[in-house]
Structure 1
Amino acid sequence: MILNIFSNLWLSLTKSLSCHMIENVFSTGDISKNEIKRLAALRYYEIIDTPPEACFDGLVKLAAEIFNMPIAVLSLVDADTVFFKANVGIDIPASIDRKDGFFDLAISDKDVTVLEDIQENLGQKASNLIEDLGIRFYAAAPLITAEGFLIGALSIMDKQPRGLIASERSILAGLARTAMDQIELRKASMAQIADVEQVNVTLANMQQRLIDLNGQLESTNAQLSKANTQLNTSYHTTASLNRDLKKSEQRLKSFINKAPIAFAILTGREMTIEVANDMVLWVWRKTPAVIGQPLARALPELKDQPYLDLLDQVFTTGVTYVGDTALVSLETNGVFGDHYFDFIYEPLKGEDGNTESIIVIANEVTDRILQKENLQSLNQQLEIALEAGELGTYNLDIQSGKNHTSSTCRAHFGLSNNELFEFNDFLNSIVPEHRDMVNNKVQDAIFNKVPYQAEYLTQWPDGSRHWISSSGLTRYDADGNPINLIGVTVDVTKRKNYEAQKDDFLSIASHELKTPITSLKGTIQMLEMLKDKAADQTICRLIDMAAVSIKKITTLVDDLLNMHRISEGQLALKWTNFSVTKIIDSCRNDASLLGKYQLNVSGDLHATLYADEQRIEQVLTNFINNAIKYAPTSYDIEIKIEHLPEHVKINVQDFGEGIAPAVQQHIFGRYYRANHEGKQYSGLGLGLYIAADIIGRHGGQIGVDSTLGVGSNFWFTIPHPL
């Protein structure tokens, strides 16, 4: 079939020998020297303003079918005019002024020119012709002569914006090279035909001279010999043209075979496979042995599927059929599997208008469909998980402030499904005392690229109040600009109520325990004064044990009271000036430090603080007691006082087991209790939390530096007074 197409091309070329030369009307003073050469190259081919030719019409039609484009054009760019040699899908004049369009864009670059959206790329430069036809996409491969001049382009166009991948650009460039080959062949044929005509004239003259000048036989024979030589040259030239034509046919076959899309030509009503490239054979799961067989015999698995009937319908009606994500069952090694394709059946008609063959172009999209189904399944699982966890989701557009929320998220703020919930609505739903805190955390997450986490109290439209916990992460574009804040919300009102009830209970319990504990502590102190008079040493040990126990109970009750004061914002500070060594000496005299533990003090022993002396001593005592509790074999405890330019720093260092990095970030949390390698320790887990709050109220900082197997250094800073 392809050989027949190129034979028809040769006949069309031989019928087009009446092409005339175009007068050179441009002014050499107004254009570049290279443009003069380019125009000379264009005129050399004598193709400007010539009638349509079947070979070029077929080529642009093939380009439109390969790229599934409604429009394809073969254009030639003169000095002031663009001539259209062939086109499909568009009704345009034979030529337009060069300045009125952008068809000369392709001759400025040897690579494929692509305008994915003409209105966006060119704006007002787009010609009226293009605007009237509504063309939005334009791609063109230049026609490049052997000398490297760009004389025109093979263009494809669409009325919708789109892109062109690298393999498609390569295909379009290949078609443009084929078009240039045809122009070269056309020129060569014209030259050879002109030579033949000249030889014929010469022969006619020689015959006339034989009649008129019979006596000049030798001269005539010499001329005949020369004419024979010219004829032989013409013969060899024609043979060379045939070889070039065959080479072009082979090039086109190779191009089709290696094309990255499935391509086949089915001939006759029986749909005999005339052409099948490598890709379509892979799609069919067949070998080249099926070429020459009717499609129904080559692919028997299509028997109960609609595609044979569709092909017959296209053959009989001559109407193109386009399939979108069509399901096809194909056999692979005896196993049938489902596959999805986008495809087109395009009829090829003869001169009588009847369909002779059908072009099949297909692209397998099975992976895309399966990925889409998997994504839908994952989204469904995510929705179920969010619903089970009573989690709401939100997606905040940072630029516009529009907030896309789930129904659960809106329910967390007392809203119905159809109510808008933009960022301003979100901020207004938060009680005023929490609003700035939440807004600052949102801005910090967006501009400092940190996770967003906040708990805040909201007021619903009905006046009720609810606690919400929300978290999220910011998504950024390639330039680092924030795009969206995406996260989840959860209603923690019940938890907050439980915490409030627990705090109330602990407060009441600690207050109620305070009176009997004070009385018991006084009684034990009186017993301690009398224990030396006791005759039984057992009584003395019992009194000492009771004193230690009452001290622990007193510490626990004090922690509970301090915790309640912190929660209620009632932990007041009494500011005074005092020496750091004073509170260290107080801790040194503590009963828990007697015996085997040694406090070693170094640094600035004259440093003073302006703070609440009792609260700072409470923090230091907590550090020392923790060193004894968690590092019982570290008998030396180092206390270092550093007088720095902006603050005083106090360090308490032990040489025990150390604290793991994962634990360090939680150690100052509320109710956190250490658990080293399964060892349980007494206490409520409030000591370091209260210490952190005390130091924070003084405007200082608190922290720990620890290495496993080496020990820990707890420290805090108190700023110098202004």
Structure 2
Amino acid sequence: MVSTGTPVQAYAFLNGGGEMVAQLRAYDWTQTPLGPFERWPASLRTTLGILFHSQSPMALFWGDELRCFYNDAYRPALGQASGQARPLGSPAREVFTDPGVEMYGVINRVLTSQEAVLLENRPVHIDPNGRPEVAYWTFSYSPVYTEFGLPAGVFVTCTETTQAVLTQRQLDASKKQALAVFDQAPVGVALISADRLTFQLANQCCCALIDRQADQLIGRAFLDVLPELAGQGFDDLLMNVLETGLMQRAEEVPVTLRRHGQLETIYIDYTLQLLRSDAGDHGEVLVMLTDATTRVVNRQALAETEARFRVLVEEAPVATCLFVGRELRIEVANQVMLNIWGKGNGVLNKPLADALPELNGQPFPELLDRIYTTGEPYATIGVPIDLSVDGKVKRHYFDFTYKPLRDTTGAVYAIIDMAIDVTEQVLAKQKLEESENRYRLLSAELEVQVQARTAELEVANEELRGSNEEIAASNEEYAVINEELEEANGLLLRSNDSLEKFAYVASHDLQEPLRKIQQFGDLLKTRYADAATEEFRYLERMQLAASRMSTLIRDLLNFSRISVHRDTSGPVPLATIISSVLVDLELTVQETGAQIEVGALPMVAGDPLQLGQLFLNLLSNALKFRQPDQPPCIRVTSAAVTAHELPPSIRPNRLVNLYYRIDVADNGIGFDDKYVDRIFQIFQRLHGKSAYTGTGIGLAICERVAINHGGGITAVSQPGQGATFSVYLPA
């Protein structure tokens, strides 16, 4: 009960103030050491007036027993909800139970020392709606004095910092995860500061590339730890990036490093990017390195092989040339061949039709095109060819061989032509036949002339035998050249096989630590399965991150395998491919209630595994990016189009007259047409990982498969109106 005497309304601090003021007015203070309101010190009433009329959380602990006063806003700091307030005026030792022991001790220390105390981000246990939770608050404790300057209590203000604490924890976890990804990145990454170009970070790949341990690099200057790079210009490049802010990028740069105890020259691709600090000063340089040594060495070996081949062609004793591509571009022709054509070096790098227009209407362009298509060699003897030499068209006769050359994928990319001019022999044979006809018409009295002519024929036959011996010798030289060409092709095939094995081993080595993380995570989740703790949620997030990383590595391996051309010459029925893909997606189709309509589909030349991957990715995306309020509706149709009807964005690496367009249309969420080029780039996503799963590699694989098959892919869409992906494949 409120004491008698001065009316309650006479005290300003008792007016308004919410529920806690109402409790203050209703409380019988005559039973406490404070007594009725009229006995309360002015300093107490003034402080309470500030407290109860503030929207900020405040509390006051007053007197020897530290009697507790607090406003409505302070309740959450005590772990209270509305209707759960403890009685005002209770001593602090009764207000704070076991979780509040720290608070009670702090209040006593402030009152004794008369020094303010700040406690930041302290946990407060609350129990709203029967569900225990933890909130975080920052408390400020200050001594309060009477009007006579004596310490009489402790004034408390506070601010809830739960969101800030949780955000910081998320940032710390993200930073930890980012550092793990950084350290395990498959390319060399380092961070170098402006101060003496000092290493701040270096991942495992970077350390392996330069043959240094991380503790040898971190905190040390660039040239102190890599003195052999002095004079090679890399310190100047780093300073230039720091001073200008311009990114530096180069490929296959030779670098001399001390590796494995000795100086060694390797080749690297590098990117130097400035990372400015928040203050906008020089910041740091992000260095990304890739070892390009194998690529450079392989290309040099290939160039040496091509150079040897060019020398063999140029020094061959018979007419030899190399036609490259379906347009039959003359890449190499020795002097013997140029002399036969009656042309100079100006015909090199020109299509055969432009270099020798007189061949139009003769069977040779069609014959060469058929060899390029079928890959079957061709040889013949004594074939007539009309050539324009010195402005005059003259008939020649040749024995020649056309042999197709194949690349590492088995596709024909060139034809080698070896020819022997047998015009004199053929003309001699024709004269011989004419002579034999005349001999049969001559009368017996011309027997002497016949004998004389017979002697001439014997001489001609002797010359023919000599020519045949020369031809046999030339054929042996051709066989040697062919063996060297086959050896070069074998080297290229072995190189690609080694690269594919390397990709497999790299994928296995990256997947193994992820599997260990997931296995140990499963063990920890089993151990803490009954505990609703932050640690358990962290384990789940770790498992999800490891799973995403595993999926990313698997997709990257698929992309690298797709990037190596396969045999795309076999007939593949697309209807069978789509049926197989729908079997794989059967569970997802049932779960989403999808309706899938497949029209008549053609048969194309291609690799069934790659085509299956392409349509699996397109149909998976159509099911994934569906409207939330309606089942997916997907249509797969086809149509024939000519080369002139191809969209401008489709530029096949080999042009044919007719193409099949296979459309995969859906009624999903769609996307803005301005992103149509971006979606086919690797790692590009239009939605966050929380909205839709994926690695951003699927459509890049689709584009690579289409290109491998001599076609392309594009898409049209509008947000909320579905999307149509069009795949163009040669007919």
Please, what TM-score do these two structures have when normalized by structure 1? 0.36
Which has more radius of gyration? 1
Please, what TM-score do these two structures have when normalized by structure 2? 0.36
